[in-house]
Structure 1
Amino acid sequence: MSTRPMLSRTPSDLPWTTSNQHRFPQRRWRPLLMWMLLACTTIAIFQIGLRAGSPPTTFTVPEVSSSHPSALTFSTHPITRMMDEAEERFRAKVERQSKTLPEAIEEYKRRYGMPPPKGFDGWWEYTRKYDVVLVDEYDTLMRDLAPFYALRGKKELGDYSDNDEDPLRPGSGLDTNGWALGGGPEMRRRIAEVAGVSSIDLVRVRNGVPSTVSINKDGFVDDEVSARARGLKSMLGKCVAVLPDMDFPVNAKAEGRVIVPWDRWEVAGQDATTSDKIGLGMGNRTYIEVITDDKSNSAHPLSTFRPDWRGEGNVWDTWRRTCPPNSTARKFYASIRSAMLDSATSSHNPASRGGDDGSVPSSFTFAPSTSFNAISFCDQPHLHYTQGHFFSDWRTLGDLYPVLSPARAKGFGDIKIPSHYYYGSTDAYTYGWDEVNLELQPTDRGEVAWGDETDLGPNGEGGVDDRDLTIDPSYDGHTNTANPPKNRKTGKESKRNKIFWRGATTGGGNSPPGFAALYQRHRAVRMAGWDVEGDVEIWIPSTTSLLPNSSSSSTAKKSNYNDVRLTAHKVPAATLNKALMDVAFVKANNADQYPGGLEKLMAEHRFSGSVYLGGHWQYKYLLDLDGMSYSGRFMSFLASDSVPIKSTAYEEFFSEWIEPWLHYIPLSSSYEEIYNIFGYFSGIPAEVVEEVYGNATNPETGAPLFPPGTKIPAIPGAPDGDARLRRIARAGKQWKRTIGRTLDLESYVYRLALEWARLCADDRDAMTMKV
């Protein structure tokens, strides 16, 4: 048995540590006092700005903190609590859904302060016919659409007249519903304008027939009609016959396209205004229509729009203007690449320890949900370096335009629609797709049974050590499904107890260049590397509890193992990663964008062969990471019998339909808590215990902890940890079968289309249901 030294981390070991020693070049003394004062003032201002816009000494993300781990047991573990609360929360949500059309109408009016759109009764019949479960949960859709009720038409174009105005609010430009007058014609004008932008396609409805259209955009390479537009066209199939003529502009890119600056919003409550201008309850931010005398490009403001940045700005510089004027992001912006970030591009970021003041370590802070709402880039602008969408090459739209996109990051104004990856069926994105017979199967041919717990602790606790499995390296879950992993002791199929991920080096663009090493996928692959330095901290039972005759073991036998006190184990990251992580790139896209090029990229990240989608089902844990935008594989992961661990900065159409810690495991954008997630459900494999504790001594007797010839067991996780993990897998699969069906995607699009028809109508009141 080998002995690995327990490594202690110093601040200089941290990849996110930045040294101030050489932050700025020294100024030479000037012979004149005036120049000295000017130099000092410049340096002072620059220091303040850079501290506001640069990475901190440690990479942390504001998440809801867990309880202090000093008196921790599995009974009081935050994951136990969050799983129980998630189940109660989701059950209550399902039970409170409307049961009849009158109930649904009243709930709509209660939530949004106005009657439903015309055709709502037809949509309700659809939900009853196809057993749609969550019929009331459309708040994210309504928040996306709310600003467009403030679009105001032009009197001189005949969009409205003074007679249309609410007589109780003369001069307000609002109708009796609180909607801006002339909004329908203005909405249609903006749709026509944005349809001329590169990588924006139209789904057009005429006389109940849908079609896809791409406007001539001067030969730009993305002129072809996108798969996203074709996907939306297909999703309209069951409702298109009842829709009026209208157009939907669809984003052909994965990245968001619409960013509206802060000064174009009016926030209810800040200046004695109310939300009735737009929302009648739909939100507290009102879009401000800017009236100008400038006639240039008034017929088509986007006629000179260029598809990419071409060095004239970038997404972050545009996005930070969505923040309040007093926010850190607005006070300073580091627009150039800094040498301070170089130390962050090639190192492993081990899970951090708690502070000397007893603060909770970030490795023991569990995300209650995804990072869409958890991260404030306005308050912590340095975090933007870690999200690739801020470096997209594609130019964004700086005004309120209706653009339909499959996902939306914080601060963007795109309107969410279901992804075509979720609706169509392909080998790469669809669980159970039979490409021979062109049909979906209830069970994917690569699916592997969950397996037995055989590598147990002294009291019967523990889980499967992958060394107990017979692994056929040729098994791929696609062309070779004859010999899945099997347990040597039982002969039964068994999933491998590892965290698995494969993907390409996508994640962001190159505007400005030089930051690819900090993108979400690159950070994850480096952190999970098999040759990294440093150690991580996992809270699990003490190693002495593993000894058959130890006092702690006796205590564990006599009492509930859930109440055994957990302690912090410092484990070498490389040893742990080899045992629990199988994370690697399979393809180097745009390697020239990585600092140092392909050679540096290959040296700093693990690469492996491509894996069929069916090959993923060999693993219990499936890591799900953002790419250029959202992850298109999430629905297939949910449909499997494995558990998705999802880290994302995006909101999708189903975000309020699904429950984190019930249907999947959420992961912060720092990923640091992933080791304690594994430790809770699966403990530490015996192979890690052997290497780390093989030559350790028993603190009670001074004798070797494991005498020669002793079988070294795993350090177990929670007694019901594996059962809880499997419960998440089953709940996710059930969610996909009942709430994440293609029929539910169509229900969402049906509802969107009815709202869209009202927004585009000359008379919005006529397109409102009479109740």
Structure 2
Amino acid sequence: MFRLWDPRVLTSRLVVRYLTVGFLAVFAVANYVLWHDTESWDTASLHNTMAFGHKHPIKKLMVEAKAHHDHLLDRRSHDVEAAAARYRARRGRHPPPGFDRWFKAALDADAIVVEEYFDRIYKDLTPFWALDPNIVKRRANAWHWVVKVRNGTAFGVGDVEGRVPWLQLWTALVKEFAEHLPDVDMPINMMDEPRMLVPYDDIAKLVELENKERKLAKVNEVTAEFKGLEHVDQDKPDPYDPEWFGPSSQYWDLAVKTCGPGTPAYGVEQLKDFSAPAEFPRNWRPSYALKGFVQNWTAAMDPCLQPHLRQLHGSFIEPVSLSSTHELIPLFGGSKLPMNNDILIPGAMYLTPDEFYSGGENHGPAWRHKKNGLIWRGVGSGGRPKEDTWHHFQRHRLVDMLNGTTVSRAEADGTRAPTFELPSSDMYANKHQRRGELGAWIKKFADTAFVELLPDDDCDFFAPYFKISEPIPMNRQYAYKYLPDADGNSFSARFRGFLRSTSLPLKATVYAEWHDDRLTPWVHFVPLDNTFQDLYGAIEFFADSDGPGDAAARFIAEMGREWAETVLRREDMRLYVWRLLLEWTRVCDENRHTLGFVGDLKS
């Protein structure tokens, strides 16, 4: 039997916390049932040996994911010497000045430091290394909303009257470690949607230039002294606004310019007419999936690899607000599409004490006491739906697919729902679908509804499809075993709450977040394709009380909860932004190529 992780790499506090008798018992049962007791599944799969053979693909995906997760944990750093060495090996530079203080804070917070968990910082900052640091720092300094640090004190600058409290929330986070930072400016995106869509050729040139200039400076040439921002403050530069594309522009046609030659979406234009039902790929066999279930999560999120998403996600049809540019400017925000060039920080909603997104500290009952069912409540967001477009939106598709009446009608007379097609029986061996009982099962298993429809609840075109339900607080939703999660106007801010709950999150998204590199699909949550073609297959596997699925679901739910409490704490968000701002300050400094930490090499 494999272990969750090697206890030698944990502090004594974590050993006590995680390797409890109860958790070992859950792990042992899940491990045995999932990997050894295949008799019940084998019997069911005899009806479709072409699709699954004698083993369900989710079992294989879980084994591979667990091995990947363990491999990364084996690379954990326990002292600054190891951390700095791994940094240099992966980044090709010395760590930034202040790295030693940052690492000590990580140790004091019992944080797990794996260099790969910070890859997102370097993906985001790479093209900025190729820009003139004086221009970058001036534009950051003069933006409309900025978290500023001066002389070890953080404060927010910008008019926040009538706006979301994001500037205040991010400023409060930076205040917790500002005394350890050099002077720095963090310009903030105050919109739901990300802003920058730099064309592929432009980004490729910047990345190539950064790669050419990157070097590991000689130890005797390295300095820890930043130039500072006093001269920029004295100059008081005017805010810089590039050319913005507004609501009259079509978002997909802007976004697809970021896709490189050779990607399936390259040069693909948006549909001119959305009145027809949502169209799914023919003979769907995605390269990023194993027998229909997501295997490569990064690829599954990438619209450049899936041009069909242009008419299956509201962000690409008509965002609620659109103000994007093809120019690279410094801007920090909580989420972005894989093709955006914004710099990621933890979403502000993860920092608020408001229980709306988290459910508070009540994470739900033990697995055995939960209702064996699925629940979803939410707003019909995800874009600006209209009569001829709403059926192409992701949340509307999710709720419709989990409407037993709609599914039963499709089964009975072949009536195609405007939002989805029933998945191929050649791909998924769904026993309920095979028996023509999928709709009846969904009606008993799933409880999904909108609590509000946009632009308003009185839109006549929604009446035949959706009824408004009363909201159900998050902590009451945790009484169910299964919690699907889909994008809203940008990322879904309830994901961290779902991970911290005792329930199993099922996640579909096209939005990247700060934490992606430290979460492992099939170990901490169940990844879903954005078409939701795998939705029925996934929930049927996990909800099958006669097979290994329930033990597998409990295993992932427990792993996800424990891991979220280990690497998605406020302390971890603080450490991520702290390290990001050390790197950002260096990018904005004229001496950036010789700035670094080399204390470990001098001893």
TM range (shorter): 0.7 to 0.9
1:105-116 correspondence to structure 2 within 5 Å: 105-116=84-95
**Separation (CA, whole Å) in 1 of partners of 2:374 and 2:563:** 22
1:494-505 correspondence to structure 2 within 5 Å: 494-505=369-380
Partner of 2:7: none
Aligned counterpart in structure 2 of residue 539 of structure 1, from 408, 429, 434: 429
Answering whether residue 136 of structure 2 is matched by residue 187 of structure 1, we say: yes
Deviation of 1:574 after TM superposition, in Å, equals: 2.4
**Separation (CA, whole Å) in 2 of partners of 1:387 and 1:279:** 38
1:406-555 correspondence to structure 2 within 5 Å: 406-431=334-359, 433=360, 441=361, 443-444=362-363, 447-451=364-368, 494-509=369-384, 514-532=388-406, 533-535=409-411, 537=425, 539=429
Extract structure 1 runs of 4+ deviating beyond 6 A. Answer: 352-355
Alpha carbons of structure 1 residues 648 and 329: separation in structure 2 relative to 1, 3 Å = closer
Answering whether residue 242 of structure 2 is matched by residue 262 of structure 1, we say: no
Alpha carbons of structure 1 residues 132 and 383: separation in structure 2 relative to 1, 3 Å = same
**Separation (CA, whole Å) in 1 of partners of 2:266 and 2:291:** 32
CA contact under 8 A between 2:173 and 2:574: conserved in structure 1? yes
Partner of 2:294: 367
**Separation (CA, whole Å) in 2 of partners of 1:353 and 1:764:** 50
**Separation (CA, whole Å) in 1 of partners of 2:477 and 2:594:** 51
**Separation (CA, whole Å) in 1 of partners of 2:264 and 2:556:** 39
Partner of 1:175: none
**Separation (CA, whole Å) in 2 of partners of 1:582 and 1:144:** 39
Aligned counterpart in structure 2 of residue 749 of structure 1, from 562, 569, 577: 577
Alpha carbons of structure 1 residues 363 and 674: separation in structure 2 relative to 1, 3 Å = farther
**Separation (CA, whole Å) in 2 of partners of 1:95 and 1:208:** 35
Partner of 1:577: 442
Partner of 2:33: none
Alpha carbons of structure 1 residues 359 and 645: separation in structure 2 relative to 1, 3 Å = closer
Deviation of 1:659 after TM superposition, in Å, equals: 0.8
Alpha carbons of structure 1 residues 656 and 531: separation in structure 2 relative to 1, 3 Å = same
Partner of 1:208: 152
Partner of 1:245: 183
**Separation (CA, whole Å) in 2 of partners of 1:343 and 1:335:** 11
Partner of 1:103: 82
Superposed CA deviations along residues 81-113 of structure 1, whole A, max 9, x for unmatched, are: 111222222122112112221111111111010
CA contact under 8 A between 1:540 and 1:717: conserved in structure 2? no
Aligned counterpart in structure 2 of residue 387 of structure 1, from 313, 316, 320: 313
The amino acid of 2:158's aligned partner reads: S
Partner of 2:537: 676
Deviation of 1:732 after TM superposition, in Å, equals: 0.9
Answering whether residue 401 of structure 2 is matched by residue 401 of structure 1, we say: no
Aligned counterpart in structure 1 of residue 211 of structure 2, from 276, 280, 284: 276
**Separation (CA, whole Å) in 2 of partners of 1:530 and 1:233:** 46
Deviation of 1:389 after TM superposition, in Å, equals: 1.9
CA contact under 8 A between 1:591 and 1:601: conserved in structure 2? no
Deviation of 1:761 after TM superposition, in Å, equals: 1.9
Answering whether residue 487 of structure 2 is matched by residue 626 of structure 1, we say: yes
SS at match of 1:651: coil
Aligned counterpart in structure 1 of residue 106 of structure 2, from 127, 144, 161: 127
CA contact under 8 A between 2:357 and 2:493: conserved in structure 1? yes
CA contact under 8 A between 2:126 and 2:210: conserved in structure 1? no
**Separation (CA, whole Å) in 1 of partners of 2:178 and 2:387:** 44
**Separation (CA, whole Å) in 2 of partners of 1:587 and 1:400:** 36
Alpha carbons of structure 1 residues 569 and 584: separation in structure 2 relative to 1, 3 Å = same
Which TM-score applies when normalising by structure 2? 0.78
**In percent, how many aligned pairs have the same letter?**
28
SS at match of 2:563: helix
Alpha carbons of structure 1 residues 728 and 579: separation in structure 2 relative to 1, 3 Å = same
Q: CA RMSD in A?
A: 3.3
CA contact under 8 A between 1:507 and 1:626: conserved in structure 2? yes
Partner of 2:269: 333
Deviation of 1:305 after TM superposition, in Å, equals: 5.4
Answering whether residue 251 of structure 2 is matched by residue 315 of structure 1, we say: yes
Superposed CA deviations along residues 241-297 of structure 1, whole A, max 9, x for unmatched, are: 12122211111112111111123133699xxx676235569xxxxxxxxxxxxxxxx
The amino acid of 1:141's aligned partner reads: I
SS at match of 2:86: helix
Aligned counterpart in structure 2 of residue 89 of structure 1, from 68, 73, 76: 68
SS at match of 2:90: helix
CA contact under 8 A between 1:134 and 1:657: conserved in structure 2? no
SS at match of 1:266: helix
Partner of 2:24: none
SS at match of 2:488: coil
SS at match of 1:534: helix
CA contact under 8 A between 2:485 and 2:508: conserved in structure 1? yes
Superposed CA deviations along residues 38-71 of structure 1, whole A, max 9, x for unmatched, are: xxxxxxxxxxxxxxxxxxxxxxxxxxxxxx9525
Answering whether residue 591 of structure 2 is matched by residue 769 of structure 1, we say: no
Alignment coverage as a number of residue pairs: 514
Alpha carbons of structure 1 residues 190 and 335: separation in structure 2 relative to 1, 3 Å = farther
**Separation (CA, whole Å) in 2 of partners of 1:258 and 1:318:** 10
Aligned counterpart in structure 1 of residue 275 of structure 2, from 342, 346, 353: 342
Partner of 1:645: 506
Superposed CA deviations along residues 289-343 of structure 1, whole A, max 9, x for unmatched, are: xxxxxxxxxx86945856x7242x232222122123676655452463x1xx323
CA contact under 8 A between 2:253 and 2:270: conserved in structure 1? no
SS at match of 2:300: coil
1:717-728 correspondence to structure 2 within 5 Å: 717-718=546-547, 720-728=548-556
CA contact under 8 A between 1:534 and 1:573: conserved in structure 2? no
**Separation (CA, whole Å) in 1 of partners of 2:215 and 2:49:** 48
Alpha carbons of structure 1 residues 69 and 417: separation in structure 2 relative to 1, 3 Å = farther
The amino acid of 2:341's aligned partner reads: G
Alpha carbons of structure 1 residues 279 and 656: separation in structure 2 relative to 1, 3 Å = farther
Which TM-score applies when normalising by structure 1? 0.62
The amino acid of 1:722's aligned partner reads: D
The amino acid of 1:571's aligned partner reads: G
Partner of 2:17: none
SS at match of 2:374: strand
The amino acid of 2:429's aligned partner reads: W
Which is higher, the Rg of structure 1 or of structure 2? 1
The amino acid of 1:448's aligned partner reads: P
Partner of 1:43: none
**Separation (CA, whole Å) in 2 of partners of 1:574 and 1:505:** 22
Deviation of 1:227 after TM superposition, in Å, equals: 2.2
**Separation (CA, whole Å) in 2 of partners of 1:102 and 1:252:** 38
Partner of 2:32: none
Aligned counterpart in structure 2 of residue 377 of structure 1, from 299, 303, 318: 303
**Separation (CA, whole Å) in 1 of partners of 2:72 and 2:305:** 32
Answering whether residue 128 of structure 2 is matched by residue 148 of structure 1, we say: yes
